[in-house]
């Protein structure tokens, strides 16, 4: 018998044995293109009859509350639903050792042995993430009915970074229970409850403080003494009402048109005493002092002894008599002495008494 016939005979013997073992049908006549004859050529459904290739995954993400062989093994087929372990909490992860997976696979009838090099599988639980801002909004809704103030904020003490729900649970299902509030210090405690879907109810305790905030005008950039604050220089920040001094300016009208008494830095609350109406008469500058009555106007030269804004009362030295009087700033380099009682000692010319 030729070697070629011997080779075909061996293939047929193998095919017959495989067909009997897997209950497959042996083909009586085949046509091949290659220079070899395989079991796929002579047996119907030989490919489907092969044992599936089982491959362990190094990292998986699951939605359910259990981890199955189908999650960690490719090709687990009929044993895919066999439970390997309980899944971690939503958003968390866990590690499953390969020996545990091997034991479940053997118990489920899978002929599989793990390859060397991979000794564990990392399992991540999928989740629906609720950000801290969303948690704070939910708390504000619950606190609005019992906490005074129009513009409330909350500050969480236990630093809840985020809240993870199972993927089959609606974020709108997040509810509030056991709310307790202390009006003396604004502290509160509450339990966040998430339920619904096929997952168990989740509870997380949150503690913090609720407080009212006020918007205060601040400067966008530094403004030096003598510069006038304009509308374009104003920005806004939120300040806790319980930490805001009574002297801090909250109305921008009290800033616009004013000038700082000292250089003011941007972004900081401004006290009423930090600004003033712009100086019209500077300390040490020469001024004209006037005294008015219905019948006459007296004028005399003087020197301002202090800065003065429009309408402010300052001390002025009469340059001729060396007498110090109090006068009201009425314009640039102009001050007016009060017109009640006898005229002050201006010792100056009568400006207008002899007007014709």
352: region left, alpha or beta (phi > 0 left; psi from -120 to 50 alpha): left
Please state the rounded mean pLDDT for residues 149-169.
Answer: 78
Residue 249 pLDDT > 90, yes or no?
A: yes
| Range picked from 88-92, 127-131, 335-339 for highest mean pLDDT | 88-92
What is the spatial distance between Cα 145 and Cα 133, in angstroms, rounded to a whole number? 20
pLDDT at 181: 92
What is the spatial distance between Cα 339 and Cα 317, in angstroms, rounded to a whole number? 18
* 279, 308 Cβ separation under 8 angstroms: yes
* 55, 129 Cβ separation under 8 angstroms: no
What does the pLDDT look like over 229-246, one tens digit per residue? 999 999 999 998 888 899
Q: Which of 89-93, 197-201, 248-252, 258-262 has the lowest mean pLDDT?
A: 197-201
| Higher-confidence position of 4 and 332 | 332
> What are the structural domains of the chain?
3-49 (no CATH), 55-126 (2.60.480), 130-213 (no CATH), 215-275 (3.90.1210.10), 280-337 (2.30.30.760)
pLDDT at 303: 96
Q: Strand order of the sheet with strand 120-125? A: 59-62, 120-125, 93-97
pLDDT at 260: 93
Residue 355 pLDDT > 60, yes or no?
A: no
pLDDT at 198: 59
What is the spatial distance between Cα 314 and Cα 304, in angstroms, rounded to a whole number? 7
| Higher-confidence position of 295 and 72 | 72
Please state the rounded mean pLDDT for residues 283-303.
Answer: 91
pLDDT at 10: 54
Residue 89, classified by CB atoms within 10 Å of its CB into exposed (0-12), middle (13-18) or buried (19+), is middle
- What DSSP string describes 225-255? TTPPP-GGGEEEEEEEGGG--TTB---GGGT
Note the pTM of the prediction, 2 decimals: 0.52
Average pLDDT value for the chain? 81
Residue 61 pLDDT > 90, yes or no?
A: yes
What three-state secondary structure class fits 102?
A: helix
Beta bridge partners of 278: none
H-only helix segments in 50-151: 69-72, 98-107, 132-143
CB-CB neighbours of 270 under 10 Å: 23
Please state the rounded mean pLDDT for residues 28-51.
Answer: 62
- pLDDT-based confidence at 341, cuts 50/70/90? very low
- pLDDT-based confidence at 137, cuts 50/70/90? confident
What is the spatial distance between Cα 310 and Cα 325, in angstroms, rounded to a whole number? 17
What does the pLDDT look like over 3-32, one tens digit per residue? 444 455 555 555 455 445 444 566 667 776
Please state the rounded mean pLDDT for residues 201-218.
Answer: 88
Residue 348 pLDDT > 50, yes or no?
A: no
H-helix or E-strand containing 210?
Answer: strand 202-219
| Higher-confidence position of 315 and 155 | 315
Q: What is the 3-state secondary structure (H, E, C) of 56-83?
A: ECCEEEECCCEEEHHHHEECCHHHCCCE
């Amino acid at each position: 018998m030729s070697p070629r016939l011997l080779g075909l005979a061996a293939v047929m013997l193998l095919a017959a044995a495989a067909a009997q073992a897997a209950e497959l049908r042996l083909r009586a006549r085949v046509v091949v293109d290659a220079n070899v004859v395989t079991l796929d050529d002579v047996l119907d459904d030989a490919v489907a009859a092969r044992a599936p290739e089982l491959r362990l995954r190094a990292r998986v993400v699951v939605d359910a509350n259990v981890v199955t062989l189908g999650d960690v093994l490719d090709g687990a087929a009929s044993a895919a639903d066999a439970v390997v372990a309980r899944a971690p909490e939503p958003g968390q992860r866990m590690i499953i050792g390969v020996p545990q997976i091997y034991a479940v696979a053997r118990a489920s009838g899978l002929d599989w042995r793990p390859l060397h090099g991979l000794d564990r599988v990392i399992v991540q639980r999928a989740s629906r993430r609720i950000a801290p801002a969303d948690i704070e909004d939910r708390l504000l809704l619950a606190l609005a009915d019992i906490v005074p103030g129009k513009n409330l904020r909350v500050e969480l003490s236990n630093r809840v970074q985020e809240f993870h729900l199972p993927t089959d649970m609606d974020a709108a299902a997040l509810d509030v229970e056991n709310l307790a509030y202390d009006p003396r210090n604004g502290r509160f405690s509450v339990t966040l409850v998430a339920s619904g879907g096929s997952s168990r109810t989740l509870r997380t305790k949150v503690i913090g403080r609720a407080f009212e905030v006020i918007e205060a005008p601040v400067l966008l950039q530094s403004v030096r003494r003598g510069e006038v604050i304009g509308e374009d220089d104003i920005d806004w920040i939120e300040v806790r009402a319980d930490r805001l001094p009574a002297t801090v300016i909250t109305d921008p009208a009290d800033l616009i048109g004013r000038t700082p008494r000292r250089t003011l830095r941007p972004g900081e609350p401004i006290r009423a005493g930090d600004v003033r109406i712009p100086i019209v008469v500077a300390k040490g500058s020469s001024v004209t002092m006037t005294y008015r009555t219905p019948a006459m106007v007296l004028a005399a030269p003087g020197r301002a002894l202090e800065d003065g804004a429009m309408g402010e009362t300052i001390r002025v030295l009469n340059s001729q008599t060396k007498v110090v009087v109090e006068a009201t700033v009425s314009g640039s380099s102009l001050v007016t002495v009060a017109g009640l009682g006898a005229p002050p000692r201006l010792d100056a010319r009568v400006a207008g008494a002899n007007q014709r």
